[in-house]
Amino acid sequence: MKRALCILLTLCLLLTLAPAAFAAGGTDTQVQTSFCPENTLSLTVENHQMKIEGTLSTGFSGMFWLRIAVGSAVNFVSVTPGRAFSTSVSLSGVKETVPVTIHTCAAQYGSYRSYLWHSIYVEPDGDGYRFCSSPVLENNEAMTEGWLNPGAYLSEGIPDSVQAMSDNITQGANSDYEKVFVLYGWMTENLYYDYDAYNSGGQSLTAPEQVLSGRRGVCEGYTALLQAMIQAQGIPCIRTETYALGASTAGDWSGADAAVETANHLYVEAYVDGRWVVMDPVWDCNNRYENRTYLYRSPNCSLYFDPTPELLAGNHKTIARVSAAAEDIPSDWAQEEVLTAISADYVPAKLQGAYRTAITRQEFCTLILTMLCAQQGMTLDEFTQSRHATVDRSAFRDTSDPYVQAASALGIVNGRGGRIFDPDSGITRQEAAAMLTRAAKVMGAAAKGTPLTFADSDQFADWAVESITFVTALAGPSGTAVMAGTGNHRFSPLDTYTREQSILTVCRLADCL
């Protein structure tokens, strides 16, 4: 990544940009800027008007003003941070493709600063109008379709100074999304873009602890620190390479820019609430480190925190994004439920991958207990205590794994005899049925459905018959049984149980509790 090509929003705003060569995308009549409920605008075209409504809550401590321009039409509206507002602008003078621009100011008559600039365009469409689609939107959406295992993007090597700062910033945050939001806000408020390094091509600070100490960097440093800050809270986070329009580009998607395949910038994605949240702290930070001087200028409403794909594609083309190896991707039939389980925090990071391999006895205990603890919002110790289970730390000679010990104390799993658990052995489908049944009964679940019958029931072990009957009759609101057959009216009790099969059945068990 060449430092001289890193993009800074304030540089971009100094350019005189020509209208982007956007490809008209259908008859789109509405665009939203962000998924963040505290900072989002919805733009809707209807007849000869554009309606702008939403909520903005960062960048100003009190009431402020928006200057909204579409072509030659301009409107001003006062906004109270955190409160919804609505206004409109006439489109009757729009005769060609024009950008929607929004500027902000603390007072109606004063120096306005750019907020939305050359990322959303509108054009005539017959008797009405429509928003244009960025020529790189399809590319960006295709780049996000690959499977990622969030657990692969945690880090245990967070520097102490970064961990302490992250903990301090997120005090009082009530959710992972809020933690990411306040960390992002701190970054845009307290870091300074290193113009000395940018202009000279010299060395900039890139290691997270160095950036934190020096409070300056270019895109490598900004994203490295934000990634580490987020991972310090146990939230998966990646950095994505992009080609971003700005000082080192023509400023729009005309010409050859849309076809560029070389990255010049980085942004960050954090896995929160079952999705990857995009954020670009460089493009929302207005601070400058120049001539060895720190020049502060407050951020402006966090446009690039959790932007919609449509807004991001206005000036970012995704070039390279991490992806899972083929062996770490679930089978097609399992992907939806595996993702549901991961999003619900039922799947430990170490079990996110190698989905088609046999699950071990120890791993199955970990999976079941992780789900039960997540459902109850408890730690492992809190959960076992809530069930009045006494954990024997010396129960087995061949493992001291706390999840195995807890599963044994709860009666979910038994040893092999002689204090041997055999943690690394695989399990069969009928053994899985027995463990799932015991876990369900620990939680007081009762099977109320009709159990399935199988052509290979003569292969069931005597101790497994009751469990197989139970789990094939136990179903949640969707009506899907915790376990079903393998096809052709068979249960296949002696077949090996895989990680993805285990995750699906544990997720279905969770629906029944």
Helices (H), 122-159: 137-143
Q: Minimal CA–CA distance to 217: which of 204, 226, 203?
A: 204
CA distances 393 to 208, 407, 425, Å, are 39, 12, 21
Length of the chain equals 513
Tally DSSP H helices, then E strands, for the chain: 16, 19
E strands in 338-490: none
Interatomic CA distance for residues 15 and 255, integer angstroms: 17
Q: Where are the domains of the chain?
A: 23-133, 139-324, 330-512
Domain 139-324 has CATH 3.10.620: yes
Interatomic CA distance for residues 484 and 468, integer angstroms: 9
pLDDT tens, N- to C-terminus, the chain (513 residues):
333 334 333 333 333 333 344 433 334 899 999 999 989 999 999 989 999 999 999 889 899 999 999 999 999 999 999 999 999 999 999 999 999 999 999 999 999 999 998 889 999 998 899 999 999 999 999 999 999 999 999 998 999 999 999 999 999 999 999 999 999 999 999 999 999 999 988 889 999 999 999 999 999 999 999 999 999 999 999 999 999 997 767 677 877 889 999 999 999 999 999 999 999 999 999 999 999 999 999 999 999 999 999 999 999 999 999 999 999 999 999 999 999 999 999 999 999 999 999 999 999 999 999 999 999 999 999 999 999 999 999 999 999 999 999 999 999 999 999 999 999 999 999 999 999 999 999 999 988 888 999 999 999 999 999 999 999 999 988 889 999 999 999 999 999 999 999 999 999 999 998
Strands of the sheet containing 216-217, edge to edge, are: 216-217, 192-194, 288-290, 293-295
Largest CA-CA distance found in the chain, in angstroms, rounded = 86
Eight-state DSSP code of residue 355 = T
Q: What is the CATH number of domain 23-133?
A: 2.60.40
Domains 23-133 and 139-324 share a fold: no
511 backbone φψ class: left, alpha, beta (φ>0; ψ -120 to 50): alpha
Interatomic CA distance for residues 129 and 71, integer angstroms: 13
**Structure pTM?**
0.90
Q: Minimal CA–CA distance to 410: which of 461, 462, 453, 373?
A: 373
Interatomic CA distance for residues 299 and 356, integer angstroms: 47
- Bridge-based pairing of strands 39-46 and 30-32 is antiparallel
Eight-state DSSP code of residue 34 = B
Residue 172 carries which side chain, given as an amino acid letter?
A: G
